[in-house]
Amino acid sequence: MNRRQKKMLARILISAALLAALSFAPVSGWPRLACYMVPYLLIGYDILIKAGRGILNRQVTDENFLMAVATVGAIALALCEGSGDYTEAIAVMLFYQIGEWFQSYAVGRSRRSISQLMDIRPDYANLEVDGKLERTDPDDVEVGSVIVVRPGEKVPIDGVVAEGESSLDTAALTGESLPREVRAGDEIISGCINMTGVLRIRTTREFGESTVSKILDLVENASSRKSRSEAFISRFARVYTPAVCLAALALAVVPPLVRILGLGLSGGWETWIYRALTFLVASCPCALVISIPLSFFAGIGGASRAGVLVKGSNYLEALSRTRTVVFDKTGTLTKGVFEVNGIHHSPYSDEQLVEFAALAESASSHPISLSLRRAYGREIDGGRVSDIREISGEGVTAVVDGRSVAAGNGKLMDSLGVNYIECHGVGTVIHMAVDGEYAGHILISDVVKPHSAQAIAELRSAGVRRTVMLTGDSRRVGEGVAAALGIDQAYCELLPGDKVSKVEELLESNSPKAKLAFVGDGINDAPVLSRADIGIAMGAMGSDAAIEAADVVLMDDDPLKIPLAIRISRKCLCIVYENIVFAIGVKLACLALVALGLANMWLAIFADVGVMILAVLNAVRALFVKNL
Ligand code: ADP
Ligand code: MG
């Protein structure tokens, strides 16, 4: 509890005690009013002030105004009638404040627990200066510095392990409890917790550019993007408050008028004014206004615990309506780790050809390039390579040891005017050309991720109607993978630009309510990520372009996170709708009872606070996504 909440609680308790005590006090007339004004003002002064300010600013559409008019009206009524029954007005204010208090407490609690779960912000870095360690603000560490992370500490900045071996706990980032082993030479991302060994890390980014800062930014800004459901609530509120005010006025004025005209309606004017005031109390839309944003906030928080970062409630809402999922193949459905299976038709020795390939590929971050460099296995001497050009979806050309080398698919060979020999093996074929002459091909193959097939099946049971795979790879490979995984359609031999137009075609054939998600690894598919209704970047912890372009970022590259993300969004949206229906339903029922004279102010406020508490508790449920 913070100080404001404590103060509020004290006000609630004291005024409740005063109210109880006053019910035994034998005072009447004006002194009685004065006595009752003490607890009333104590509990309600802030509401009255806010309502007063609202009236001055001609903004009389909030609940402060409703509460002020209703309670002041009730006191005035008691005064006119001479009944001296002020308890009701005070109790209404009291209940309203209890509701407010509970709400701020619950919201505060769930916000805190979300940020605790996202507790990945490092407080310091141990910077190595002249062989000594200095505890520094991570913000002040320059790129290329050496930092030391001891067991139990958070990795503050992205970098490469220079020395040491350890296992890392990445649970806060990926939701995955399996530890990850790292050793010298491995890349390491900030936000993990070092568990076993001391690590010396050479930083490769500034703190502000590091993974941990990116993620925190993302989560903190997520709630500012409003979803349609939230926009609905604010539009609703704008119409609702004036409408109930008019209805209350009508309730106060029309029936007594009708009576004067001689038509039989029971009750004097004071009955109808009382009903109108009760109507105002009953109309407070707090439950709705509070619980919807809270549900989204909890849903986004819960998702981030599971390693699914959603950039805004609008995307969470879109995700819940996903009907088509389009996948990139390499690195998304397959591991993107290619093994060399054969080298054919080459005038060079196998080692020589792989060396050419690895050197030419030295600057690319494509999975194929990484795999060729791994197959080469030795340190790459950057001095031997120049004029590197990467042609997206085709391959690379470069000058290696003074000779022009090209490595890529048939399209690349065609554009260079090199005749190539088709390969009959199964796998991805990297054709090579050296000095404009065909130099044979390297056959590499990739394996599908162990969870890909299960992910496709789970997507189907989560309501996805169509799955599509897009790939730049050959028809043979592409269709083989699609068939093995149970994907509905595969489009092959596409350039990155073709992937965008394919997605546009698919978008057009969808109805506007059915959303299309594209899942990619963020390497050369950023344009498609931003074109789809929902761009999902996977295992993109390192790739800035992907984090930037995507709407949803999966922290690791497990395809099962895709159906999980959809299930999380569906649960959250289900809670949102439950709350909308429940709150509006109870509200309308209450208003009807009040108008018919079947409910008094007590019941009205009780129903309102009750609905709000239930709606908030329901909203908090969105935080729990573990067993979805
Ligand atoms: P995917 O759709 O499977 O992710 P890409 O669009 O990234 O595939 O690449 C399509 C094809 O282009 C690859 O199968 C490969 O033949 C060729 N290619 C792309 N980048 C490279 C590269 N760096 N080196 C060699 N070939 C490449
Ligand atoms: Mg790709």
Mean pLDDT of the chain: 86
Residue nearest to atom 7 of ligand 1 (CA): 393
**Domain coordinates of the chain in residue numbers?**
125-213, 322-335+449-571, 336-447
Least confident of 87-91, 163-167, 417-421, 432-436: 87-91
Per cent of the chain over pLDDT 70 is: 92
User: For the segment 252-287, what is each residue's pLDDT rounded down to a tens digit?
Assistant: 888 877 776 666 566 677 788 888 888 887 877 777
Its CATH architecture, for the domain 125-213, is Distorted Sandwich (2.70)
Whole-angstrom distance, CA of residue 183 vs CA of residue 328 = 31
Query: How close is the Cα of 366 to the center of ligand 2, in Å?
Result: 7
**Residue with more model confidence, 228 or 535:** 535
Residue nearest to atom 20 of ligand 1 (CA): 395
Least confident of 44-53, 72-81, 469-478: 72-81
**Residue with more model confidence, 531 or 223:** 531
Residues 397 and 405: beta-carbon distance below 8 Å: yes
Across the chain, how many H-helices and E-strands are there? 20, 22
DSSP string covering 165-210: -EEEE-HHHHS--S-EEE-TT-EE-TT-EE-SS-EEEEE-S-GGGS
In the structure encoding, which two tokens stand for residue 39, read together? 């607890």
User: For the segment 299-358, what is each residue's pLDDT rounded down to a tens digit?
Assistant: 888 888 788 888 888 899 999 999 999 999 988 999 888 889 899 999 999 999 999 999
What pLDDT sits at residue 93? 87
pLDDT exceeds 80 at position 231: no
Pocket test for ligand 1, best of 413, 469, 473 (most atoms within 8 A of CB): 473
Residue nearest to atom 24 of ligand 1 (CA): 395
**For residue 258, how far is the Cα from the chain centroid?**
55
pLDDT exceeds 80 at position 216: no
Query: How close is the Cα of 203 to the center of ligand 2, in Å?
Result: 27
- 593 Cβ partners below 8 Å, 6+ apart? 599, 603
* Atom number in ligand 1 closest to CA 494: 6
Backbone angles phi, psi at 616, to 5 degrees: -65, -45
Query: How close is the Cα of 307 to the center of ligand 2, in Å?
Result: 22
Least confident of 117-121, 424-428, 444-448, 613-617: 117-121
Q: What single-letter DSSP state applies at residue 423?
A: P
Enzyme catalytic residues: 328
Do the first three CATH levels of 125-213 and 336-447 match, i.e. the same topology?
A: no
CATH number, span 336-447 = 3.40.1110.10
Out of 3.40.190.10, 3.40.1130.10, 3.40.50.1000, 3.30.70.20, which CATH number does the structure's domain 322-335+449-571 have?
A: 3.40.50.1000
- Cβ neighbours of 626 (radius 10 Å): 9
What pLDDT sits at residue 386? 92
Least confident of 52-56, 107-111, 416-420, 488-492: 107-111
Whole-angstrom distance, CA of residue 396 vs CA of residue 143 = 29
Residue nearest to atom 21 of ligand 1 (CA): 395
Backbone angles phi, psi at 552, to 5 degrees: -130, 130
* Residues near ligand 1 (Cβ within 6 A): 328-330, 361, 364, 366, 368-369, 390, 393-396, 407-409, 428, 430, 471-473, 496, 524
Query: How close is the Cα of 356 to the center of ligand 2, in Å?
Result: 23
Per cent of the chain over pLDDT 90 is: 36
What pLDDT sits at residue 485? 94
Residue count (the chain): 628
What pLDDT sits at residue 401? 93
pLDDT exceeds 80 at position 81: no
User: For the segment 173-206, what is each residue's pLDDT rounded down to a tens digit?
Assistant: 776 666 788 999 888 888 888 988 899 999 999 9
Residue nearest to atom 22 of ligand 1 (CA): 395
- Choose among 219, 292, 305: nearest CA to 619: 292
Write down the pTM of the prediction. 0.77
Which CA distances in Å does 256 have to 261, 376, 469, 559? 9, 94, 70, 67
Pairing of strands 437-445, 428-434: antiparallel
For the chain, the distance separating the N- and C-terminal CA atoms, rounded to the nearest angstrom, is 31
Quick one: which ligand is closest to 330's CA?
Answer: 1
Confidence of residue 474 (pLDDT cuts 50, 70, 90): confident
Query: How close is the Cα of 546 to the center of ligand 1, in Å?
Result: 17
**Which amino acid does the sequence have at 466?**
R
Query: How close is the Cα of 66 to the center of ligand 2, in Å?
Result: 57
Pocket test for ligand 1, best of 356, 368, 412 (most atoms within 8 A of CB): 368
pLDDT exceeds 60 at position 114: no
What pLDDT sits at residue 263? 61
Quick one: which ligand is closest to 540's CA?
Answer: 2
What pLDDT sits at residue 275? 85
User: For the segment 91-111, what is each residue's pLDDT rounded down to a tens digit?
Assistant: 888 888 887 887 777 667 656
**Which amino acid does the sequence have at 365?**
S
Residues 255 and 220: beta-carbon distance below 8 Å: no
Residue nearest to atom 2 of ligand 1 (CA): 471
Quick one: which ligand is closest to 413's CA?
Answer: 1
Quick one: which ligand is closest to 338's CA?
Answer: 1
Determine the average pLDDT of the residues in 620-628: 81
User: For the segment 524-559, what is each residue's pLDDT rounded down to a tens digit?
Assistant: 777 888 889 999 988 755 566 677 778 898 888 899
Q: What single-letter DSSP state applies at residue 148?
A: E
